[in-house]
Structures are given as structure tokens and as C-alpha cells.
Amino acid sequence: MADTADTAGEEDAAGQPPKDTRNTRNTGDAKDGVLAAVGPRLRELRRRHGMTLAELAERTGINESTLSRLEGGTRKPTLEMLLPLAEVHAVPLDELVGAPRTGDPRIHLRPVTRDGLTYVPLSRPGGVQAHKLLIPPGPDTEPTLRTHEGFEWLYVLAGRLRLILGERTLVLKPGEAAEFDTHVPHWLGPDDDRTVELLVLFGHQGERAHLRACQGPLGGSAHAPH
């Protein structure tokens, strides 16, 4: 009789066993976790590119308040928001939302041009980032030095690089490298009328690439004008 009573107790009023909602609940928790991780990832990408919320709003057509709430996690992202953000940051949509990788180790190059500069991401988001950077000659105007979070290492592939670090000006030729703390005011660009091509490694939170400049570490940083 006890077995019968227990079995009867497991059925609902219609005589059907209760539904197991654990899978539905776990799926919902996983989805919430993925969405919650999008905001910090968006903030990291924006800061890595040296962009303000106002600049990002202008490029994406998404208002500044919405972008701020997306980064803070108080606004859930939609596909209509993520598509222009992925395009501006030059990352695949699945990497923007942290989708599992398929096992393909290749990096699908998606060049992006901003302010006349061409960035070619050579790594996936997270940790030290690798880019190929092409800087064409610009107008003959006084360089504007910038500062931002991070640490940077660069290697000149082609052309002559003019590097301004605070009060110092250096010229690097192909095959030379430099390493910088990007809190120091900096600027870089071609030293002549040819495009300069660079390989750049950049750690967002001051993370240093495990490489050393051929001329030794410098006491400042240079980054392409944003």
C-alpha cells in the first residue's frame, strides 16, 4: 500500500506524472550567463580600440545611453545591436557573444578601416591581441598624442615608422621592434610618403607580451591615432 500511495503522490490532478523542468531551467541559466558576459566583452573591445561611447554611438547608430547599459549589463543585447558592434570591432558575431568554438584553429581575417587606418585582427578576443596595422601617410599636421589603458609591442614589417613617446621621437625601420606602456602620451605614423605596415601585440589591462624590443624596452608607448 505504501508503494501505491507514493506512486499516486507523484501524479498530478489529471493523473499525469509531473514534468521535469530541470532541463528548461538549466538552459535558461546558460542563456542568461552568455548574455551577461556580452557587456564586459563589449567594454573591453571598445577600450582596446581607444573609442569613447560617443564615438561608438556615431559609428553604430546605437545611442550612447543604450551602449552604456549594454556594457553595464542592464540592457540585454539584440541581434540588431550586435551586428553593427561586431562590424565596428572587426570580430565575428559568435566571438562577440562567446559562442563555443567549432574546433577550427584558423583565424578568419576581417580587415576594418577606421580614420584611414586598416586593422587586420590576427587573434581572437581575450588576452594579448595581435593585429596587422597599415598606416598611410596623412596630412602634414602636428601629431596629437594620446593615452589609454594597456601595454603594446610592435614590429615594423614595411616602411619607416615615426614614433613619438612623450618628449622623444624615434624612427624605426623594417625589422625593428618596440615595447611600450600606453599610459604615456604617444603617436605613431609613417616617417615619409609611404604606408607603414606593423605587427602589433596589445594587452588591454597592462598585460605585457612576452617579447622584448630589439632596442630594449622604451619608457613610453605609441599607438596609431584613434
Confidence of residue 4 (pLDDT cuts 50, 70, 90): very low
Facing residues of 134 across strands?
118, 197
From the CB of residue 36, how many other CB atoms can be counted at a distance below 10 Å? Answer: 11
In whole angstroms, how large is the CA radius of gyration of the chain?
24
Mean pLDDT (the chain, rounded): 74
- DSSP states of 129-145: EEEEEEE----S-----
User: Distance between CA 78 and CA 226 in Å, rounded?
Assistant: 27
Confidence of residue 126 (pLDDT cuts 50, 70, 90): low
Q: Which helix (H) or strand (E) holds 113?
A: strand 112-114
The closest alpha carbon to 46, from 57, 32, 35, belongs to 57
Q: Phi, psi (5° rounding) for residue 116?
A: 85, -10
Q: Is 121 helix (H, G, I), strand (E, B) or coil?
A: strand
Choose the weakest-confidence range: 8-22, 64-78, 110-124, 126-140.
8-22
For the stretch 114-120, contacts whose Cβ atoms lie closer than 8 Å and that sit 24 or more positions apart, written own/partner, are 114/49, 114/226, 115/225, 115/226, 117/224, 117/225, 119/90
Choose the weakest-confidence range: 7-21, 78-92, 147-161.
7-21
What pLDDT score does 7 carry? 47
Q: Are 77 and 95 in contact (CB under 8 A)?
A: no
- DSSP states of 137-198: ---S-----B--SSEEEEEEEES-EEEEETTEEEEE-TT-EEEEETTS-EEEEESSSS-EEE
**Model confidence, pTM:** 0.51
User: Distance between CA 89 and CA 22 in Å, rounded?
Assistant: 37
What pLDDT score does 8 carry? 45
Q: Is 48 helix (H, G, I), strand (E, B) or coil?
A: helix
